[in-house]
Homo-oligomer: A and B are copies of this chain.
């Protein structure tokens, strides 16, 4: 089945399931509640999330990005520094605190504001260019019925530098997010690229002023959500743009071209404007620094605008062609000013954020990784009777020392029950220890059982995939 995605974070069926479970009252005990908008996975799905985190982390570290982590809370004045809407912030206070006893705190709603505050606070202890990744939950006080998560993971990378940041960094961030999605493997992805300078140049050439250009960018950013007519309406009503110009803006946004041929395909479309020329040249430079395998995924899409004010050049989104209604799963771009609200330094940067929880929710709800491990255990050591438990423990220790995860069954009921347990957890092998100390292994997928003369050699054969 296909979900109907809201223009937001979660899906209708998932929300319906949340609602149905919102108040599970157990027989005679306290109420147990699932809180709408705060996702919680089953163990096998958390294991899968950790595997995906591991793949993305390995990609980021392979390019030398280093982890940072900030507290979940910031001062409210820090969170408000970029003029964000207060009502989306969750405030934090001690249950019985004096109102004036401590500074007002709030849960961070993204990782960009905490990153900027972190860089300002630790400025003299960081090496520039500073290449960091950051995986943390963020919290947004959206109304739950709008179909959005209120707590979710974001997985960000950014490169920032002092004064100047070359375009090779834009290319590196795109190469890296492409590599990360390639590593996850289960989902086809495509990368949409644009450059704000092209949009700004085109809008300026139409005679729009600064404020109108900002409004136009915000309107065009919604084209896949509110449609062509919705954008035209916003352009006319919010940005006070003439109908004919609005039509030109929407028509301009329909153009796409593979990054490989963007220079040839788009040159004729662009007005003779220095900003447009610069934007196109930047796209071409970025393309020249990307590897061939990545270029296969990247398309210049003039409808890509990104709503946020602070982007100044490259803008990018990662989409899933098999789930067009899902929207972007990662987005970012180039900005000229990370932290001037906190520190008197020019810090241009380029970065991307992966919406990990949204991605996980899609993978889980569509069952895109059906063969993923359901628990970390590779070998269940069966226990025939309690007298042999120490022997079973010793066998499990040898298996672990050989690099294979093993668990010893906690009791010693009939073997059928132990096999059922292994099957329910999808543990692939059961080890039996005979009274004389010999080992046999049962492969639960093939049902074959065979003697094992050396536990260590057998573990090696497992990891070698024999």
**Cβ-defined contact, B425 with A127, below 8 A:** yes
Give chain B residues whose Cβ lies under 8 Å from the Cβ of A73.
35, 38, 151
Interface segment, one of A116-124, A210-218, A323-331: A116-124
**Cβ-defined contact, B47 with A67, below 8 A:** yes
Given contacts A35-B103, A75-B35, contact A127 B40 (CB under 8 A): no
**Cβ-defined contact, B35 with A105, below 8 A:** yes
Kindly state whether residue A237 has any CB partner on chain B within 8 Å.
no
Alpha-carbon distance between A66 and B45 when the two chains are bound, in angstroms: 10
Interface segment, one of A87-95, A297-305, A438-446: A87-95
**Cβ-defined contact, B71 with A29, below 8 A:** no
Contacting residues of chain A (387-430) with chain B, CB-CB under 8 angstroms = 389-390, 393-394, 397, 400, 405-408, 410-411, 421, 424-425, 427
User: What distance in Å separates the Cβ of A113 from its nearest Cβ neighbour in chain B?
Assistant: 12
**Cβ-defined contact, B400 with A137, below 8 A:** no
Kindly state whether residue A100 has any CB partner on chain B within 8 Å.
no
Among the interface residues A62, A90, A93, which one has the most CB atoms of the partner chain B within 10 A?
A62
Give chain B residues whose Cβ lies under 8 Å from the Cβ of A421.
127
Alpha-carbon distance between A417 and B34 when the two chains are bound, in angstroms: 55
**Cβ-defined contact, A95 with B103, below 8 A:** no
**Cβ-defined contact, A77 with B34, below 8 A:** no
User: What distance in Å separates the Cβ of A418 from its nearest Cβ neighbour in chain B?
Assistant: 12
Give chain B residues whose Cβ lies under 8 Å from the Cβ of A405.
61-64
Give chain B residues whose Cβ lies under 8 Å from the Cβ of A50.
67
Contact check: which of B24, B65, B139 meets A121 at CB < 8 Å? B24
Kindly state whether residue A262 has any CB partner on chain B within 8 Å.
no
- Nearest B residue (CB) for A374: B66
**Cβ-defined contact, A72 with B137, below 8 A:** yes
Number of copies: 2
Kindly state whether residue A365 has any CB partner on chain B within 8 Å.
no
Kindly state whether residue A41 has any CB partner on chain B within 8 Å.
yes
- Nearest B residue (CB) for A91: B95
**Cβ-defined contact, B40 with A69, below 8 A:** yes
Interface segment, one of A7-15, A162-170, A243-251, A252-260: A162-170
Give chain B residues whose Cβ lies under 8 Å from the Cβ of A424.
127
Give chain B residues whose Cβ lies under 8 Å from the Cβ of A454.
none
Kindly state whether residue A185 has any CB partner on chain B within 8 Å.
no
Interface segment, one of A223-231, A269-277, A335-343: A335-343
Give chain B residues whose Cβ lies under 8 Å from the Cβ of A120.
26, 29, 32
Contact check: which of B97, B103, B400 meets A33 at CB < 8 Å? B103
Contact check: which of B26, B91, B289, B410 meets A94 at CB < 8 Å? B91
Alpha-carbon distance between A69 and B356 when the two chains are bound, in angstroms: 14
**Cβ-defined contact, B92 with A107, below 8 A:** yes
- Nearest B residue (CB) for A118: B40
Contact check: which of B78, B88, B96, B168 meets A410 at CB < 8 Å? B168
Give chain B residues whose Cβ lies under 8 Å from the Cβ of A72.
72, 107, 137, 139, 151
Kindly state whether residue A83 has any CB partner on chain B within 8 Å.
no
**Cβ-defined contact, A89 with B78, below 8 A:** no
Given contacts A30-B77, A42-B125, contact A65 B376 (CB under 8 A): yes
Given contacts A63-B407, A94-B87, contact A117 B32 (CB under 8 A): yes
Alpha-carbon distance between A19 and B202 when the two chains are bound, in angstroms: 52
Kindly state whether residue A27 has any CB partner on chain B within 8 Å.
yes
Contacts A/B (CB < 8 Å), 6 sampled:
A40-B71, A42-B126, A62-B406, A66-B375, A131-B407, A291-B393
| In the complex, the 3 A-B pairs of residues with the closest C-beta atoms, listed nearest first | A64-B407, A64-B377, A38-B71
Residues of A within 8 A of B (CB): 21, 24, 26-35, 38-44, 46-47, 49-50, 61-78, 81, 86-97, 103, 105-107, 117-118, 120-122, 125-127, 129, 131-132, 137, 139, 141, 151, 159, 161, 164-166, 168-169, 172, 288-289, 291, 340-344, 375-377, 380, 389-390, 393-394, 397, 400, 405-408, 410-411, 421, 424-425, 427
17 new A-B pairs (CB below 8 Å) besides A64-B377, A87-B97, A90-B92?
Answer: A26-B343, A28-B344, A35-B71, A38-B71, A40-B69, A40-B71, A41-B68, A44-B66, A61-B405, A64-B376, A64-B407, A65-B376, A90-B93, A90-B94, A93-B93, A127-B375, A289-B390
